[in-house]
Amino acid sequence: MIELQGIKKVFRMGSQSLEALKGVSLKIEKGEFISIMGPSGSGKSTLMNIIGCLDTPTEGEYVLDSDRVAGLSFDQLAAVRNRKIGFVFQNFNLLPYATAWENVELPLLFDGKSARKRKERVAELLKAVGLYDWREHRPSELSGGQQQRIALARALANDPPILLADEPTGNLDSRSGEEIMDILTELWKQGRTIVMVTHNDRISAHSQRIVRLFDGLVLP
Amino acid sequence: MNLTLPRFFWNEFRKRRKKAALITFALFWGTLSILLLLAFGQGMSTQFRVSFSGLGETLIMITGGQASLTFEGLPKGRPIRLYREDIAYLRERIPEALRIVPESYNNWQVSAGGKEVNRGVHGTTAEFALMRTQVPQMGGRFINADDNAQGRKVAFIGWNVAKDLFGTEDPVGKEIVINRVPFTVIGVLMKKLQDSMYQGPDADQIYLPFSSFSMIDSQREIDRIHIQPQGPEQSKLVEERVRVLLGRKYRFDAADRYALGVWNTIEDSKEGLAIFKGIEIFLGIIGGLTLLIGAVGVTNLMYAVVKERTKEIGIKLAIGARRRIIIQQFILETMFIFAKGTFWGFIAAFNIVHLIRLAPVNYESFGIEAYLLRPIFSLRIFVAYVIILGILVFLSGIFPALRASRSNPIESLRYE
């Protein structure tokens, strides 16, 4: 379902250019749970952003659910991010001015879902992550673990088949980290495809398969 | 359920309104200062018009003079005097003149009820009221044609004369003695602004029918001829006609500028109005530039706001916001701030203008305050201002919004 063929990504800054990915080919099946590992600067975040349609490759072919991503417009990519992919970031990336409820509701709003459907879905998600009682709080009033659970609820809002997690436990204490990993494992068992970037071996142990990147290439 | 996205925007905006306060204040301040600037400019030029019409509208005043050029063998230095026959003489020969009216003048003792003052007394006709803005207060009237025809002993007095002789009492119907001859007061001049005058402000003068004046005054010559042309555009022509006709009659050179005293208030007011029009235009330009500076300021602040919210935009893009949504939010916020700032600026300017207008203006000493304390709030100017600034603010909001919507989600997310 995710198929990358010879992906290259070059960043240009003035006269200098940096090749972050040097021809990555990767196939991720539906329902797989994979970890992308590698040292800093190996290109794992860049790969993750390309898979998540946040960035486009300089060269190579990316097919997502038999759609060629290269041919999609800005708004079409936005729609893909909205419906097919859920993001979980290391630093949560919640909107600081919005309440927990509003943060979770936002992807539904962008998708044009009706008020009734949104209300049902947000309540369901907040109950699932155990934060329904915290719905009126803003991110600054929540602990790191709680914020990440809100971020997870938001990622699941439109019930996307793919979840992308970029160092999801990186900013959390070990207990909160374990809680998040339990939820991710549970979601995988329910049939979601999960792609996770980490450099923590204990965290990557939750996944089925580990892809190692080094210097912009996949290690065999 | 389409309202929900705007409602979300509204919620977000409300939570952030303290940060928007600076922009709101900038718009408030700009609106206030521009509206005040224009209100004062308009007030000044209107006051100028009002005060100039205190003397009279479209008037040419002729007095006698002294020949300064030799003419057909006659020496210079001869005095030129005006006589009552000149009125009929000029009326017959200048069809471009709407009215030609004589005015005689003398300074006499005037007394009433045991009080005595020395005042300027004028003899004239009914039409004088129309030409020199002599409006009676309630219950009184100016001299009319019958007064003149029958030589009635009646007097129209300025409000200062009324105050000096009668205090707070109503003088109408009472008797005053002028040069030992009793007259009945028939009216008191209504208060008016007057910035131009010849024998003192009209408030201090007394007016009698021309015929009655002649009975108590021995001199045959008249002091002044007032001429009102058919239209202001004929004032130059009429002035020249008078010089030629009287020059022919009294044998002086029509080009002699000193043979007659000519006060053409039409030409004067043209000049004065041009100055005030100039001031209005000047204030308008300053206002325009202030507007521009204001718009640049708002643009700057909007850019700063977009920059501050880069990360937030990145988050929204990452979870699937389309370009349109990002633009919509910025435009709505900008226009709301604009409406709020402008509204309060309008309220403040409107109230300040009307408070200032409450300040009393002294009609006797027509000072600077009469020009400054009568600003005029113009709704037309306000509407024009809102349209112009609205466009500028919209533009200053759309560019940062477009920039924000085009940003790369990854770079925006990394922004701290």
* Chain B residues within an 8 Å CB radius of A166: none
Neighbours of B311 (CB within 10 A): 17
Q: Compute the mean pLDDT over every residue in chain B, rounded to the nearest whole number.
A: 85
Give percent of chain B above pLDDT 70: 95
Shortest distance between the Cα of A67 and any Cα of chain B, in A, equals 18
Cβ separation of B315 and A79 shorter than 8 Å? no
B391 burial class (0-12, 13-18, 19+ CB within 10 angstroms)? exposed
Find the CB nearest A54 among B5, B316, B410. Answer: B410
B74 and B165 housed in the same domain: yes
At B57, the pLDDT band (50, 70, 90 cuts) reads low
Q: Choose the final residue of a domain: B231, B247, B265.
A: B265
Mean pLDDT of B242-265: 90
Write the pLDDT tens digit of every residue in A49-98.
Answer: 999 998 889 999 999 988 888 888 888 889 999 999 999 998 899 998 88
Main-chain phi, psi angles of B392, to 5 degrees? -60, -45
Write the pLDDT tens digit of every residue in B285-298.
Answer: 887 787 788 778 77
Q: B97, B230 in Cβ contact below 8 A?
A: yes
Among chain B residues, CA nearest to A102: B8
A89 in contact with B, Cβ within 8 Å = yes
Confidence at residue A84, expressed as pLDDT on a 0 to 100 scale: 92
Confidence at residue A130, expressed as pLDDT on a 0 to 100 scale: 92
Which one, of A14, A3, A110, A16, lies nearest residue A50 by Cα?
A3
* Chain A residues within an 8 Å CB radius of B402: none
B171 and B261 housed in the same domain: yes
Confidence at residue B53, expressed as pLDDT on a 0 to 100 scale: 65
* Chain B residues within an 8 Å CB radius of A79: 320, 322
Among chain A residues, CA nearest to B310: A95
How many residue contacts between A and B have a Cβ separation below 8 Å? 72
d(CA B233, CA A95): 71
Structurally, chain B folds into a number of domains equal to 2
B247 and B285 housed in the same domain: no
Among chain A residues, CA nearest to B405: A74
Shortest distance between the Cα of B402 and any Cα of chain A, in A, equals 13
Cβ separation of B312 and A96 shorter than 8 Å? yes
Mean pLDDT of B305-324: 85
* Domain residue limits at B314: 4-53+270-414
Q: pLDDT higher for B235 or B50? A: B235
A78 in contact with B, Cβ within 8 Å = yes
Confidence at residue B52, expressed as pLDDT on a 0 to 100 scale: 66
Mean pLDDT of B28-45: 85
B89 and B43 housed in the same domain: no
A11 in contact with B, Cβ within 8 Å = no
B73 and B108 housed in the same domain: yes
B371 and B333 housed in the same domain: yes
Write the pLDDT tens digit of every residue in B341-386.
Answer: 999 999 999 999 999 888 877 655 556 777 778 888 888 888 888 8
d(CA B43, CA B34): 14
d(CA B266, CA B230): 12
Tell me: pLDDT of B1 over 60.
no
Query: Does the domain made of A31-54+72-218 have the CATH classification 3.40.50.1370?
Result: no
Tell me: pLDDT of B28 over 80.
yes
Confidence at residue B332, expressed as pLDDT on a 0 to 100 scale: 85
* CA B82 remoteness from chain centre: 35
B238 and B341 housed in the same domain: no
B232 and B310 housed in the same domain: no
Among chain B residues, CA nearest to A82: B320
* Chain A residues within an 8 Å CB radius of B409: 54-55
Residues whose CB is less than 8 angstroms from the CB of residue B103 and which lie 6 or more positions away in sequence, other chains included: B122, B123, B124, B128, B222, B223, B224, B225, B226
* Chain A residues within an 8 Å CB radius of B322: 75, 78-79, 110
B19 and B87 housed in the same domain: no
Cβ separation of A96 and B1 shorter than 8 Å? no
Tell me: pLDDT of B183 over 90.
yes
Pick the residue of B1, B311, B319, B327 with the most A CBs within 10 A to test the interface with A by mutation.
B319
Confidence at residue A32, expressed as pLDDT on a 0 to 100 scale: 94
B118 and B43 housed in the same domain: no
Confidence at residue A115, expressed as pLDDT on a 0 to 100 scale: 87
Kindly give the parts of chain A with pLDDT less than 70: none
End-to-end CA distance of chain B: 35
Confidence at residue B402, expressed as pLDDT on a 0 to 100 scale: 85
Paired sense of beta strands B175-178 and B115-124, if any: unpaired
Shortest distance between the Cα of B321 and any Cα of chain A, in A, equals 6
At B198, the pLDDT band (50, 70, 90 cuts) reads confident
d(CA B67, CA B75): 8
A121 in contact with B, Cβ within 8 Å = no
Pick the residue of A76, A109, A164 with the most B CBs within 10 A to test the interface with B by mutation.
A109
What are the structure tokens assigned to B307, written together? 């920059």
Confidence at residue A185, expressed as pLDDT on a 0 to 100 scale: 93
Q: pLDDT higher for B364 or B76? A: B76
B399 and B307 housed in the same domain: yes
- Per DSSP, what are the bridge partners of residue A28? A2
User: Which of B120-124, B288-292, B334-338, B394-398 reaches the highest mean pLDDT?
Assistant: B120-124
Cβ separation of A87 and B316 shorter than 8 Å? no
Confidence at residue B2, expressed as pLDDT on a 0 to 100 scale: 42
Mean pLDDT of B168-185: 92
Among chain A residues, CA nearest to B6: A109
* CA A184 remoteness from chain centre: 11
